[in-house]
Amino acid sequence: MGDTVRSYAEALITWLSFLDESGFQPEEATEDVLALFRARVAHGPSPATGRVLSSATANHRIAVVCGFHLWGEKRGLLHTPLGGFLLKREDEHRGQSRLNVPYPRRTRGSLAPAVVQRLPTLLSYEEVRLLFQVAPSPYRLIFKWALLTGLRRFEICGLTTDQLPSPEQLLLCRDGFARINVLRKGGRDITVHVPIRLVEETSWYVLVDRPTPARADEKRIFIGRRGTAVSRGSLSKAFRSCADRVGTRATFHHLRHTFAVNVLGILEQRVQDGDSLNSIKSLQVLLGHASLESTEIYLRAMEVSSEAVMQALDYLYGATLCG
């Protein structure tokens, strides 16, 4: 829940700061004030970064504000003209509320700005090869985790030595994957399938190459030069430095995109060759997405460990070894 709470808090702080700067009290919020706020977040620079927010982030902040005032109105904790307007609007459009985001397109009278749909961005084989040539320890290994598992920044930074299977446990893995339970987005504890050789490389790093950690971080796998756990901020900074050195505009999250697109491409090819697996559902499990929950248990058991996935990861792993 940590990232979810943080993103909601950021949205509410931005809203309350806007109200304060504009001379409004929260109780005075109306749909017209929200329209001014929408224009600010959709087109004005962020106070924190100085950059214009993406449409998805702007939509999220507006949706949080709407949800907050609707919640306050329904609970009787904060009565505002905006809350009353939203409640009436919800009643009029029950079952087809236009307050939910993201939208495939902006509907007339929508409270959210138009969403710019972005296709997944993937790195080429050459970009991956060059990144792994210049990445220092332990970031080179962290990049591998992102590329070969599709895990997010906070999920990798939060990995602990307790989660690594023992050599004896790895001997029982017959399909090339080790199963590791990871706390994923939304606070869900999900089993992640990790290539055995990546686990072995990580165990070697912990035993031989990992700096002595500070007591507070002694169970964290990835430790920086000062003995503290690698943070999401330092990870993003390290990736940006490496990406700039090799001349790519990619971000760390694009490693996850690259994992997903390459795995899906191989799975789709296997389907065309007559394999009965469901490529989209298999990828959903690998990425830890929350949809199609009723089928996830079967997919983990039957499809995630298919030879097709191993073929895709063999390709990606080959790029990480170059240099």
Q: Is 55 helix (H, G, I), strand (E, B) or coil?
A: helix
Positive or negative: CA dihedral 34, 111, 61, 48: negative
pLDDT category of residue 10 using cuts at 50, 70 and 90: confident
As a whole number of angstroms, the distance between CA 157 and CA 163 comes to: 13
What pTM was computed for the model? 0.58
Task: Tell me the two tokens of residue 118.
Answer: 């972005």
Q: According to the model, what pLDDT value does residue 109 have?
A: 45
As a whole number of angstroms, the distance between CA 152 and CA 175 comes to: 24
Q: According to the model, what pLDDT value does residue 315 have?
A: 66
Domains of the chain and any CATH numbers: 2-92 (no CATH), 125-321 (1.10.443.10)
Task: Report pLDDT digits (tens) over 102-133.
Answer: 333 334 444 544 444 445 677 888 899 999 99
Task: Report pLDDT digits (tens) over 256-286.
Answer: 878 877 776 676 677 777 877 776 677 776 7
Task: Identify any residues that bridge with 183 across adjacent strands, giving them in sequence order.
Answer: 189
Task: Tell me the two tokens of residue 276.
Answer: 């009965």
Percent of the chain at pLDDT > 70 equals: 70
